[in-house]
Chain A
Amino acid sequence: MTTGATGAAGTARIRRIRGRAIPLRGDDIDTDRIMPARYLRVVSFEGLEQHLFEDDRRQDPAHPFNDPRFHGATVLVVNRNFGCGSSREHAPQGLARYGIRAIVGESFSEIFQGNAAMLGIPCFAASRQAVEALQALVASSPEVMVEADVETGTVEAGSLQIAAPVPPAFRDAFLSGQWNPTSMLLERFDEVRAVAARLPYLAGF
């Protein structure tokens, strides 16, 4: 699934994700659709994978998350502005707990992409044409293995190879294993205190 050793911040280095894929077509799929708000009535993230796309799945029997051919997929292939709307981490948490390890798409909401990164899920951005080609391939051949490479920014499936870079800061964080930054943010806490001491609204006007 992932390769590499434990990074400096105590999280795994993530370089390559290899697995079967699930195509989810449509632009502007918001986090309310990924995880309806009634499932935010919880104090933990456990079990959220059961409610992924629940309303969409009920309204559309052909929804890919209803299709047994895609069970066990680890790479999600989406279109434009995926994860827009609410900042609820419950959405990527549900995807992570379902087993999604990488998302390939045309573009992503900024908050969603950041939340996914905190869970070790890189978002790979490719052109519409490339994404559609990948979706078509996976839809017709669900068994095809997809390999997404964080370092080179490429996604390969069968004879298809597409350019799909991860934004540099996220890329470097995944490669160094520092995508979960709390320890790093605590490392030089004297510098944090120094900034606080300089801010007039904390130091006193």
Chain B
Amino acid sequence: MPETLFRKVWNAHAVRTLPSGQTQLFIGLHLIHEVTSPQAFDMLRQHGWRVAFPDRTFATVDHIVPTDSRRRPFLDVVAEEMTAALERNCREFGIRLWAPDSPDQGIVHVIGPQLGLTQPGMTIACGDSHTSTHGAVGAIAFGIGTSQVRDVLASQCLALEPLKVRRIDVTGRLAPGVYAKDVILTIIRRLGVQGGVGYAYEYGGSAIDRLSIDERMTICNMSIEGGARVGYVNPDETTFAFLRGRRFAPQGAAFDHAVRWWRQLASDPDAPYDDRVAIDAAAIEPTVTWGINPGQSVGIDEPIPGDADEEALAFMGFRRGAPVRGTKIDVAFIGSCTNGRLSDLEEAARIVRGRRVAPHVKALVVPGSNEVARLAEARGLDEVFRAAGFEWRGAGCSMCLGMNTDRLQGRQVCASSSNRNFKGRQGSPTGRTLLMSPAMVAAAAVAGEVADVRQMLPQEVTA
């Protein structure tokens, strides 16, 4: 019987049906970090439970780590305390940890795929809503809360209900200056921030087929912003090429066997979907948010809609019918699990090269992982950004959510490559976030205001 990848992976991991009707689902890979795990370890200790599969949980620090200095103990005593707690917990329970001084430390959703831990056909869980990122290689990945982190530690299982599957076909070609970020912002605008509740989003179609794994991660990452807990792309040759040779990926002959399994997990051509949506890639413009949720966005040439939400307008200081383009910015942030990978930094650097950040703008680049930072530095990208007036930081979540000292001040406006423009998200209760692609953030940093990146693209691309 033809099936979706979601259903095949679900069935392969289903342990049993619980009395409530929920499925006991085995979790193949569990990723933890310093913010949502300490209470889970405490609960384990209270009950005297052990970690059931310690070699299937991996830990790193990302949310709270300082991005300026990594010297221990951190000046931020709370960051030090939380990092030390994770180190202690991992030691006690036998879990592998990539600490701040490890070359493999980074945002949990960046390092999973980078190390080849994330593989097609796995069930993955992490105490972070952007766990959907890992679906880019054809895994089924769930963001969970701390009590569920406890469950996975104790039993390597979750009690869940299966999701419906919505197939989202993006067909045609993206225009120059239009990126994966614009695709997902467009999808969320169209389907709503709640449209995906109860669904896994399966992204496909010719435009998705042409995207790199990095770009697919950007799209899957923000599934949750559209309400979908899970997002994925079927594994294909791009996926296999991405995984080959990665440290935790199967090696040698095992890799070829794995590819055979991965290939047959992809949704069958006539798989049943609960819903289908079609998006025309060529119609997507560079997109920017104007409001306080990721569904409130416009194309760069579009005015803010006439029916725009009053609360959002009041908070942001925008008017209906006005353009977002030309909005003066105070801060430019390039980074996050959405857009903090090497290709994101490369695209942004193409815009920045030979230009200067506007004098009134504070601009920072926070690589998604130490490995991303190293690769970028090997290509001289750090110098490109520094020469333009950007700060070049260490890896972490940073100003995406302002849990470390990288925060907006007062009502500052930030052009941000991150994933959420919620009120107060970037660390100032009244701070304002405009979500856009990293290249658009670079353009805004240089212009000092929201600008159209298409007018700043290097010649060889526009020609």
The chain A residues found within 8 Å of chain B, CB to CB, are 26, 28, 30, 32-33, 36-38, 40-45, 55-56, 58-59, 80-81, 84-90, 92-93, 107-111, 114-115, 118-119, 167-170, 172-173, 176, 178, 180-182, 184-186, 188-189, 191-192, 195-196, 198-202, 204-205
Contacts and interface: CB of A to CB of B under 8 A. Distances in A.
Contacts of B420: 30, 32, 85-86
A170 B159 CA distance: 10
A186 B154 contact: yes
A192 B15 contact: yes
A115 B40 CA distance: 13
Contacts of A189: 52, 155
Given A36-B424, A87-B143, A111-B229, A30 B157 contact: no
B151 A87 contact: no
Contacts of B127: 87, 89
Contacts of A182: 47, 49, 150-151, 154-155
B102 interface: no
Given A89-B146, A186-B155, A37 B402 contact: yes
A87 B42 contact: no
Contact of A109 (B53, B121, B227): B227
Contacts of B15: 188, 191-192, 195
Given A36-B429, A185-B154, A86 B402 contact: no
What are the 10 closest A-B residue pairs judged by CB atoms, nearest first? A115-B145, A89-B145, A55-B429, A118-B147, A205-B257, A185-B155, A43-B38, A87-B129, A81-B194, A173-B20
B157 A111 contact: no
Contacts of B119: 201
Nearest to B44: A182
A174 to B, nearest CB: 9
Nearest to A89: B145
B322 interface: no
18 contacts: A32-B422, A33-B423, A37-B401, A37-B427, A41-B79, A58-B429, A85-B224, A87-B143, A89-B36, A92-B145, A118-B147, A169-B22, A176-B19, A180-B147, A188-B16, A191-B16, A195-B15, A205-B257
B155 A40 contact: no
Nearest to A116: B145
B430 A185 contact: no
A89 B381 CA distance: 38
A84 B26 contact: no
A143 B119 CA distance: 55
B275 interface: no
B28 interface: yes
Contacts of B146: 45, 89-90, 93, 115
A169 B20 contact: yes
A85 B422 contact: yes
B179 to A, nearest CB: 23
Contacts of B148: 114-115, 118
A116 to B, nearest CB: 9
B193 interface: yes
A33 B422 CA distance: 8
Interface of B: 12-16, 18-22, 24, 26, 28, 35-36, 38-39, 42, 47, 49, 52-53, 56, 63-64, 78-79, 81-82, 85, 119, 121-122, 127-129, 131, 143-148, 150-151, 154-161, 193-194, 197-198, 224-225, 227, 229, 250, 254-255, 257-258, 261, 293, 311, 401-403, 420, 422-425, 427, 429-430
Contacts of B64: 41
Contacts of B147: 89, 115, 118-119, 180
A173 B424 CA distance: 35
B19 A84 contact: no
B425 A59 contact: no
Nearest to A170: B20
Contacts of A108: 197
A28 B28 contact: no
Given A185-B154, A199-B28, A201-B28, A178 B18 contact: yes
Contacts of A37: 401-403, 425, 427
A181 B158 CA distance: 8
A167 B255 CA distance: 42
A110 B229 CA distance: 7
Given A43-B82, A182-B49, A28 B129 contact: no
Given A55-B424, A182-B150, A88 B258 contact: no
A62 B351 CA distance: 46
B430 to A, nearest CB: 7
Nearest to B64: A41
Given A55-B424, A59-B430, A111-B144, A40 B35 contact: yes
A184 B427 contact: no
A168 B119 CA distance: 33
A33 to B, nearest CB: 6
Contacts of B198: 110
Given A88-B36, A118-B147, A38 B427 contact: yes
Contacts of B79: 41
A84 B311 contact: no
A26 B311 contact: yes
A172 B36 contact: no
A172 B19 contact: yes
Centre residue among A84, A186, A204 by max chain B CB count within 10 A: A84
B20 A178 contact: yes
B145 A88 contact: yes
B11 to A, nearest CB: 11
A38 B430 contact: no
Nearest to B122: A201
A118 B161 CA distance: 14
A51 to B, nearest CB: 12
A185 B159 contact: yes
